[in-house]
Each structure stands twice: as C-alpha cells, then as structure tokens.
Amino acid sequence: MKIRIESFVELCHEKGIKVTQQRIEIFKAIVQAKDHPDAENLFHKLRKKLPTLSLDTVYRTLWVLNDLGVITTLGSSRERTRFDGNLSHHHHFVCNRCGLTSDFYSDELNSLKVPDSLAELGNIEQTHVEIRGTCKTCINKVFKQIQSDKSSKGSRS
C-alpha cells in the first residue's frame, strides 16, 4: 500500500499533476475498497476524514486517476445505458478509446472452465469474455496523428 502511494506520488510529479491531500485520500480509498464503489460511496466514506471534501472533487479526481491509469472503471463507463438484442452466446471486443463494442463468437470461449472457488460466490449462469483493445478506426486515427505531429515538428534539420 505504502508503495502504491509512493509510486502514485511519483507519477503525479512526472505528469506535472499536483499532489493534494484530497487526491491522496481518494486514491487510498479506492485502492483499499474491495467493492468497486461509486463516487458517492467514496464521498461518504471520505467525508469523515476530510469534512470539507466535495462530491465534484471526488468525480474529478476519479477521472484523473483513471486517465493516469492507476484505477479503472467497471464497464465502459461515461456512456449511457446500451442494450443488446443478440441473445446467442457471444463475447465482446471493446475499444478502449471510442467504446465501440463488437460481438464475436467462439465455441472454445463458450465452454470456458472456471475456477472451482467461484462456487463460493454464488451460482453461475453465464460466462462472457470481454476483450479490450484499440479498434481499427482508432488505430488509424492515432497513426494519422503521429504522422501530422512528425511533419509539423519538421523532419529536415
């Protein structure tokens, strides 16, 4: 834990982000929480330590932590509820950049063997594999970005 905080502080320095008491406490709270809390949960927990903390700071800080890559969100958040009319057993490829979610099929993945320890958590109804990455479209965008950066910085010295 101490190590995670230290490396977090270091990362903030690297990125030129200020290390505030709020950020440290919010970071500690989300790392220690094992229940995937939402912003309001954390806000209530933290208010005991930081009585002046505001909810919008919690939101802002969580997205900062997410952008730094030191926490993640459940589901591809920051989006509205999306619905799926595909009832056949399928899996998802989700683009980390644009949220595009494509179905794919795999008999092998359909019959995944899961650890026995799961029986302790409850009974299993479906298993589903979510693969995250960068979709073709976004790869192209990034590629073009790099190209234009190169040419604007001037290649001929």
Q: Quote the CA–CA distance of 71 and 24 in Å, as a whole number.
A: 13
By the rule CB under 8 A, 118 interacts with its own copies: yes
Round to the nearest angstrom and report the end-to-end CA distance of the chain: 48
By the rule CB under 7 A, 20 interacts with DNA: yes
- Identify which of residues 22 and 127 has a Cβ nearer to DNA in the complex: 22
Q: Which of DNA, its own copies, none interacts with 36 (beta carbon under 5 to 8 A by kind)? A: its own copies
- Count residues binding DNA (CB under 7 A): 27
Q: Which of its own copies, DNA, none interacts with 5 (beta carbon under 5 to 8 A by kind)? A: none
Q: Quote the CA–CA distance of 62 and 43 in Å, as a whole number.
A: 11
Exactly one of 45, 47, 127, 141 binds its own copies (CB under 8 A); which one? 127
With CA atoms as reference, report the closest residue to 113 among 123, 127, 94. Answer: 127
Identify whether the C-beta of residue 130 lies closer than 8 Å to the C-beta of residue 91: yes
Amino acid at 84: D
Interface positions with its own copies (CB under 8 A): 27, 30-40, 42, 62, 65-66, 70-87, 92-93, 95-96, 101-104, 106, 108-109, 112-115, 117-118, 120-136, 138-139
